[in-house]
Structure 1
Amino acid sequence: MRRRTPFSLLHLGSLAKVDVIVPRCTAFDTTMSRLVTRYKLDERYPPFPVASASEMILFKLRRFHLASVVRTDGMRDDAEWNDIVGMIKVQGANLDVELLEGWA
């Protein structure tokens, strides 16, 4: 969290994956932060932000692009790309196409 880098949490029992994204002070992150919806799962705890599939696709596309620019060995990590493809397959009809076209 101190380094403000994203990380994933995986619940082994259910294989549910949660990507934790700590926003930085960029135009992209500021815009995405405004789109995030806050959910309250338990009245004892404050609501927490949850990004839509469209927002996550944009974040992962950006991260995929930045990683490919930084690497000097010509290799790439397909984990981000596979996540993007999976989200498109599952959420296709529910995606915010205008948002995706505006930022992608």
Structure 2
Amino acid sequence: MGDYSLNTLFTQLLKTRIQKSECDNIKISAEEKKNEKILLKFKDNSKRLSKDIKNLFTGTPYTGKASGAGGVMYYMLREIAEHNNAKIEIHDSELSGVRFDVYLRKA
């Protein structure tokens, strides 16, 4: 179960995509998984993320290289997710942008 920082995670994820990536279409969906998880999908039609930024979500340490389109912000999102025992995966979106899959543990 997460704490108040989950609000920050979702707010900053949306804010970063809208402001830094010039996104004008975001779709959010929720799905209950069998493994005691909730999957939230955030899909957008903005610029795709660089490999350096995508690597931040695989556990790669933040070195400052991934500075384009909010590198430090994406690093903070990963840290907030980990603090809440959540996981974020990055995929290309069928809307031609990025899809963030956020896995949360059920309460």
Higher relative helix content:
1
Higher relative strand content:
2
Which protein has the larger Cα radius of gyration, Structure 1 or Structure 2?
A: 1
TM-score, normalised relative to structure 2 = 0.24
TM-score, normalised relative to structure 1 = 0.24
